[in-house]
Amino acid sequence: MPAPRVLIESRSRIGESPVWHPRENALYWVDVEGGTIHRWHADDGSVHTWDAGEPVGCIGLRRRGGLVGARRSGFFFLDTGSGRFRPIADPEADMPDNRLNDGKVDRRGRFWAGTRNFVDTAQASGALYRLDADLSVHRMETGLRCPNGMAWSPDDGRMYLCDTWARRICVYDFDPERGTISNRRLFRELPDEEGFPDGLTVDAEGCIWNAHYDGWRITRYAPDGTIEKVVRMPVRNVTSVTFGRKQAGSLFATTSWLRLAGHEQREQLSAGHVFEVDIGVTGIAEPAFAG
């Protein structure tokens, strides 16, 4: 397998939520603590940035154009043409220590995002929410420390979810018609030396690709949870992954430098950049929000 290479010198504090837009031939991602959303065009290498004005956890494509996303003040739409942000709803306005974190769109066009406690990471006060096309918000799970990295199996029968600070990847039975989850169980628990499970995606063969925060790696897990492949990364904090480009086998990875000590930042000059890895496996296109 070819070594990971820097694709975009973004130097994000916490790069996250990479999403490939096939029609635009472009990659979107966010800088959580920078409060910005970025778009890189593969055709000319240009980068456009939108300022969300506050920490932004995740984004997804929208069928009507632009993006759907989640930031500190709640769910929002971004008109990428005008740059206008439109607030939708804040599911935890009564919980000032919590804010929305990672999320993704399912194949029926619903947007899922989780919340986490940013004051005390030991508190399991986070929850998982589903934003429907009619803009109604539904709480789907509670008792989470840091929900991250959600994705669905190719047959839509499973939903995967990381609880990062608990070092666990969980799996649920998923009902695609109703958009419900049930029968939560452990998929994989990471030992300390492998870091924390962060963003993930699923390939066309049903295997799970997980980014390891504080782990220097990306791991491919078989559907039964066994390790199938490990991609060693040149930076400690790998935050999320997604498939992209027109050709098969291209995996993008976002990274972070925020919690690195000064000497670590000097040693990991590419921390915060976006990487690309040629993995030789076909991905599944990310769907768009229906609302």
Known catalytic residues? 198
C-beta separation of 181 from 140 below 8 A:
yes
C-beta separation of 99 from 52 below 8 A:
no
Report the C-alpha gap between 40 and 205 in whole angstroms: 28
SS (H, E, C) 226-253: CEEEEEECCCCEEEEEEECCCCCCEEEE
Token digits for 115?
A: 């919340």
Three-class SS state of 290: coil
Token digits for 138?
A: 């539904």
Report the C-alpha gap between 133 and 136 in whole angstroms: 7
Report the C-alpha gap between 246 and 166 in whole angstroms: 36
Cα distances (Å, whole numbers) of residue 278 to 3, 156, 190, 255: 8, 26, 25, 17
Report the C-alpha gap between 153 and 155 in whole angstroms: 5
Query: How far does CA 159 lie from the centroid of its chain?
Result: 14
